[in-house]
Amino acid sequence: MTLPRPVYYFSNRMGRIILLAMEEILGQGEANDVIHHAGLPQYVNQYRICDQDLKFPFEHLSRLQAGLVDVYGPRAGRGLALRVGRASLKYVLQDFGRDLGLTEPAFRFLPFPARLQSGIETLAGLFNRFTDQRVSLEMDGKQIRWQVERCPLCWERKTDDPCCSLAVGLLQETLFWVSGGRYFLIEERNCIACGDSQCTIIIDRIPLS
Ligand SMILES: [Zn+2]
């Protein structure tokens, strides 16, 4: 007897953020092509549901990521996923920025190292609170390790290289924003789709520029 597969979800509101960012980067027509390719026609022009119900399955998020690679090829598909991740931050701030305190002066006037740490912790908390994705952080003076033990982006995918580019893009943009326009080295080192036990993204605390 096989046990039923666990089903995990994003909130509708969090899923909608990804779809809005995808539409922004690809344009509506091409975003709809990817949505069709992923076999999810229910989302074509129908993703305005903005509640906190946990009803947006991990599997749908991962099919959208795979759809980008299928439609545009591995290299361009991952580049686009990265850009979708970067574009997502604006919608995260619109929807959650105030609740999370990210747009409050108390946050904005923190000294930079504290702002970086607080921004990343707040983002991890957003996933832990509004989705079934679980993020844990490990930090030392040089790096932050963003660790995801169940990841919607690579859910049930198998790839040769780490494939959660959307998360890398979201972290890039978050750091760009909290630092007032600086770039950081951010790299996905481990990925469940490659057989690792968790997805791990390494963030260098020292900016590149
Ligand atoms: Zn992943």
Distance 189 CA to ligand 1 centre (A): 10
Distance 196 CA to ligand 1 centre (A): 10
Cα 15 from Cα 21, distance rounded (Å): 10
The tokens for 141 are 């003076």
Quick one: 34 exposed, middle or buried, by C-beta within 10 A (0-12, 13-18, 19+)? Answer: buried
Cα 88 from Cα 64, distance rounded (Å): 15
User: Each residue's pLDDT tens digit in the chain (209 positions)?
Assistant: 666 777 999 999 999 999 999 999 999 999 999 999 999 999 987 666 788 889 999 999 999 999 999 999 999 999 999 999 999 999 999 999 888 888 888 998 899 889 999 999 999 999 999 999 999 999 998 999 999 999 999 999 999 999 999 999 999 999 999 999 999 999 999 999 999 999 999 999 999 97
Distance 12 CA to ligand 1 centre (A): 20
Distance 58 CA to ligand 1 centre (A): 11
Q: Which amino acid is at 200?
A: T
CB-based contacts of 11, cutoff 8 Å, min separation 6:
51, 52, 53, 54, 55, 56, 130, 131
Distance 51 CA to ligand 1 centre (A): 25
Distance 93 CA to ligand 1 centre (A): 23
CA atoms within 13 Å, Cβ hemisphere of 209: 5
